[in-house]
Amino acid sequence: MQERILNYRPTWNFTSELNVTQNYYPINSAIDLFDRKTASQMTLMATRAHGGSAIANGTLELMHNRRLFFDDWRGVGECLNETDEYGNGMKVTTTYYL
């Protein structure tokens, strides 16, 4: 687990125009929220890696089965449209533990 601070990077200047994308991080096994006022913590564990963030206080946001039909111009240079042998979008089953 690595501490992340909303809208902050120690190695580069943060631009507010990409607030959501710049605050997403890879989640390999777990993500947690910690409330400094009450010293309480909530941890969400998952059986699959995906992306996640805490854009607003007290909320977790997870990216599960992301699919794009067109390039989003975020650096890959192509759409993200993984399909199965029948042309259906890929389905990945994940179990979450809170």
* Cut 0.85: pTM above it: no
Domain ranges across the chain:
16-97
Name the 3-class secondary structure at 35. strand
Per-residue buried b or exposed e for 28-46, using 16+ beta carbons within 10 Å of the residue's own CB: eeebeeeeeeeeeeeeeeb
Q: What is the pLDDT of residues 8-31, one digit of tens each?
A: 778 877 766 656 777 888 889 999
C-beta separation of 65 from 89 below 8 A: yes
- 60-80 pLDDT, tens digit each: 888 877 777 888 776 778 877
Alpha-carbon torsion (40, 21, 89, 48), positive or negative: negative
DSSP 39: T
- State the Cα–Cα distance between residues 92 and 26, nearest whole angstrom: 16
Q: Which two tokens stand for residue 56?
A: 């607003």
